[in-house]
Amino acid sequence: MSRFRPVELHHASRLLNHGPTVLITSRDDRTERRNVMAAAWSMPVEF
């Protein structure tokens, strides 16, 4: 028996990015400049 199940095309993106997105922040002590970046893993998963 196969472990794979069919997925409808409009739900296919759920297999690529199923986890949370985090915000990474930074600050330069000299210039007081601040920055932020969104980061998330984007990879196929197996259920």
pLDDT at 17: 61
9 DSSP assignment: G
12 DSSP assignment: G
How do residues 11-24 score in pLDDT, each as one tens digit?
887 777 667 788 99
Cα-based distances in Å from 41 to 1, 2, 8: 30, 27, 22
**Which residues, in sequence order, are CB contacts of 43 under 8 Å at separation 6+?**
16
Domain assignment of residue 27, given as a range: 1-47
Give the global pTM.
0.45
**Total of domains in the chain:** 1
In the chain, beta strands by DSSP E: 22-27, 34-39
pLDDT at 12: 83
